[in-house]
A = this chain, B = another copy of it.
Amino acid sequence: MKVIVDLCVVPIGVGVSLASYVATCERVLQQAGLTIRLHPNGTAIEGEWAPVMAAIEACHVAVHAMGCPRIFTTVTINTRTDRDQSLDDKLASVQALLG
């Protein structure tokens, strides 16, 4: 099943500077071969269910391996059976209406 996901990984217990942890997650997602779009509050991801969820687990493993003892992650998952839709389609359909 194809999914469009939005991911935000929040490391807890490692202070307030989180960019290095987010950058690690970006590299994990890139290496997984997923289509991704980094934005100010997270990362949009497009792919099949199993590899996307495996990549999110790999993000948790990588962030814990950096010494982070606790992680809080938000994920939104979109699936649809009526038609295929990409991340770029989703954005373009709104931008077209905004002119």
Contact = CB atoms under 8 A, between A and B. Distances in A.
Secondary structure at chain A's binding surface: helix, strand, loop or mixed?
Answer: mixed
Given A41-B44, A50-B57, 18 more contacts: A4-B40, A4-B41, A13-B16, A16-B69, A16-B70, A16-B82, A19-B93, A23-B98, A37-B39, A40-B90, A64-B79, A70-B79, A70-B80, A72-B76, A73-B76, A73-B77, A73-B79, A75-B76
Contacts of A60: 1, 49, 77, 79
A84 interface: no
Contact of A70 (B19, B53, B82): B82
Contacts of A56: 77
A57 B16 contact: no
Contacts of A79: 60, 64, 70-71, 73
Contacts of A49: 57, 60
Interface residues of A, number: 56
